[in-house]
Structure 1
Amino acid sequence: MTNHRFTTRIGAALAALCAVLAVTACGAPKPDASDLDKVTFMLSWAPDTNHIGVYVAKHKGYYREAGLDVDIVAVTQSGAEQAVNNGVADFALSNLTNVSTYATKGAQLKQVMQVQQKTSAIWCALASNDAITRPKDFDGKVFATFGSNESDAVVRRMIETDGGTGDFDKVTVGTSTFATLSSGRADFGGFYSTWEGVQAKMNGPELRCFSEPDYGVPGNADSIGIITSDRLISSDPDLVKRFVQATQRGYIDAYEDGDEAAGILVHDAPEANLDEAFVKESMKTIIDGQYWGDRKSIENGTATLGAIDYDGTQQYFDFLAESNAYTDATGKTVHTAPQSHDLATDEFLASGAH
């Protein structure tokens, strides 16, 4: 894969992060396994390029250097957020929108690193479906959904912005949105440009897609990153700092060399049966699209990979609240938007790491 190289970034990143971590000196003997703090990281779904920095950090020994023995585990049926809230997992991949949704139901979660800085969601029909050429055409059609109020609000806003009424039918997706559309059970559904969008370009079926920022949905809906519990932050902030900064190193390396990171993910997550060419293309899409932040700004230290996008996420939370998408634990609509500054923190990042 073609990469825009940061010629000075790796050496500077290692020096900066070693100094901040202050756990073991770079190049020092690796700590004995018995001296490591055991940490559980839970996937949000099957292993993919959203998780890749965690795999890179583990593969390259960054967690061991930070005094951590990290176990990467499959997501539970109740979901990664619930597992973290209940103490089943210490950390997980999620996004700040999910944190806000669970917060309205009483969960005590916090995002401690936001990897993705812009929306990658795309809303698509099969290119062979001539009845859909713009979001307005979703009116009266069948939406392949996983059942969230959030996705309903997004689709409705896109339709209305494009001049439609925002009325559509729904069918719950089983295992694959692609299969649901191909079978004719639904007319359109949600995908991600950095994963399913790549799959469609490489292997089909061809899609016709629309992005939500182009059709009236404000802010950053896809604030993917690392979450933990308020309980762990309170009881062991040093452990949180060590995990976050070692993970930050992994994502920095992946943003530098997508091909190398892809090979690590494929090798270290064999249960996912990932095609390396596909994973490389996904990383190329992330890097070329600068989904994890402006690369020049990260290189020169004026931006930090993993920083929270408080403004963009708050705009999206306000939109969801206005759309009556939030509910409390009893199912009652919550009209007051959660506040991103209450649900996320940059305090554990190595600022200026590049």
Structure 2
Amino acid sequence: MTFRRFLTRAAAAAAALCSVLAFAACGADRHAGVDGLRHVTFMLSWAPDTNHIGVYVARNKGYYRDAGLDVDIVAVAQSGAEQAVNNGVADFALSNLTNVGVYATKGAQLKQVMQVQQKTSAIWCALASNKAIERPRDFDGRTFATFGSSESDAVVRRMIETDGGKGDFDKVTVGTSTFATLASGRADFGGFYATWEGVQAKMNGPELRCFTEPDYGVPGNADSIGIITSDRLVDDDPELVRAFVQATQRGYRYAYEHGDEAASILVHDAPEANLDEAFVAESMRTIVDGQYWGDRKQIDDGDFVLGSIDYDGTQRYFDFLAESDAYADANGRVVHEAPRSHDLATDEFLAGGARTRHTTHSEIHTQ
């Protein structure tokens, strides 16, 4: 499950927008009541992990039932969670605002309604045993294990150039995992997440040497992970959106405060993922200690609402991608105008009121 962010976004380039079959699903009444509850479908964005944990907690704790909802958590569709939501096959999904922007340039009508992750967790790493790579500029002339997205190319190039290199590297497509690709010698470096693969490496190896995007010139928030839905559902049934978002918000808040218990819930409620509870608990500790979902004190004091959209941080990242020619329309033509975060996201459905977050330059380099 290495570097799912770029795997998901690369899939966006190939996906067709709304097939005939999916279009038929768009018009179906998929929210008929069962036992007085409204049925809602939430789609995973990859295999269950701690990014999804608040949804599992909300279901386990009865928060969805309290909100009048019967939530079905389903595996990601082959075409991707974003495509499924755009077509009406799923009501909600885990994604991020960058993915929403990628799909919007191709004509999709998606909206992020809750942003869980408030800072970048991406790390760019080589095996610690590879003594030829001590810093990002050493990626020059090396081979990058990639899922093929232009976004990842832009990020790696900016990091190398910021560190004084040329930004030239070779690429190889990841096979079973980035770990395996590096271990095989087919590639020299690749992308991981500090809150998942980084934890795996610390607990079980292999030891990595890693670098973070904000420290090497990549602006804004690249990992704005949260909940998405369709513009259609926002317009047609805002109360359903509000009920789901606020129950989900409760789930993530509980997980942030009770990480070990939340880990146990995820492991037992997603048996198909075959997760190790000690590993999931350590992932949650990394998220909590790193305050990836927001400053705990500010949340407790009511100065920050968990789930708020980081409009400024995501827009800076969008602008960087547009400058790097990383956007393309449905016909493959490069799009130079960046998507607008305020058009693609809203935190109006959150409990506690929206708190617009303005990330400062100094904050970016201390995350």
Question: Taking structure 2 as the reference length, what is the TM-score of the superposition?
Answer: 0.87
Distance 2:176 2:347 in 1: 35
The match for 1:199 is: 200
**1:174 Cα deviation after fit:** 1.9
Contact 1:141 1:187 (8 Å CA) reproduced: yes
Distance 1:214 1:308 in 2: 22
SS of 1:261's equivalent?
Answer: helix
The match for 1:310 is: 311
The match for 1:18 is: none
What amino acid does structure 2 have at the position aligned with 1:95?
N
The match for 1:87 is: 88
Contact 1:116 1:222 (8 Å CA) reproduced: yes
Where does structure 1 differ by over 4 angstroms across 4 or more consecutive aligned residues?
A: none
**1:34 Cα deviation after fit:** 2.0
The match for 2:148 is: 147
The match for 1:294 is: 295
**1:33 Cα deviation after fit:** 4.4
The match for 1:19 is: none
Distance 1:302 1:352 in 2: 10
The match for 1:340 is: 341
Name which structure has the greater RCO, CA cutoff 8 Å, separation 6+.
Answer: 1
Question: Taking structure 1 as the reference length, what is the TM-score of the superposition?
Answer: 0.90
SS of 1:238's equivalent?
Answer: helix
Counterpart check, 1:325 vs 2:326: yes
The match for 1:64 is: 65
Distance 1:66 1:153 in 2: 42
Contact 1:303 1:352 (8 Å CA) reproduced: no
The match for 2:238 is: 237
Distance 2:175 2:60 in 1: 33
SS of 2:210's equivalent?
Answer: strand
The match for 2:221 is: 220
**1:351 Cα deviation after fit:** 1.8
- Please give the per-residue CA displacement for 1:228-275, whole angstroms capped at 9, x wherever unaligned: 000111111100000000000000000001000000000000000000
SS of 2:337's equivalent?
Answer: coil
Identical columns (%): 84
Distance 2:41 2:175 in 1: 29
Distance 2:242 2:232 in 1: 14
- Please give the per-residue CA displacement for 1:296-327, whole angstroms capped at 9, x wherever unaligned: 00001010000000000000000000000000
SS of 1:267's equivalent?
Answer: helix
Distance 1:280 1:192 in 2: 16
SS of 2:35's equivalent?
Answer: helix
Contact 1:142 1:186 (8 Å CA) reproduced: yes
- Counterparts of 1:161-172 in structure 2, within 5 Å, are 161-172=162-173
Distance 1:43 1:132 in 2: 35
Paired positions, count: 322
- Please give the per-residue CA displacement for 1:133-153, whole angstroms capped at 9, x wherever unaligned: 000000111100111111000
Distance 2:51 2:148 in 1: 22
Distance 1:80 1:352 in 2: 27
What amino acid does structure 2 have at the position aligned with 1:171?
V
Distance 1:34 1:108 in 2: 32
Counterpart check, 1:269 vs 2:261: no
Distance 1:331 1:301 in 2: 44
Distance 2:75 2:173 in 1: 23
Distance 1:303 1:135 in 2: 34
**1:175 Cα deviation after fit:** 2.2
- Please give the per-residue CA displacement for 1:202-221, whole angstroms capped at 9, x wherever unaligned: 00000000000000000000
SS of 2:350's equivalent?
Answer: coil
- Please give the per-residue CA displacement for 1:86-133, whole angstroms capped at 9, x wherever unaligned: 111000000000000000000000000000000000000000001100
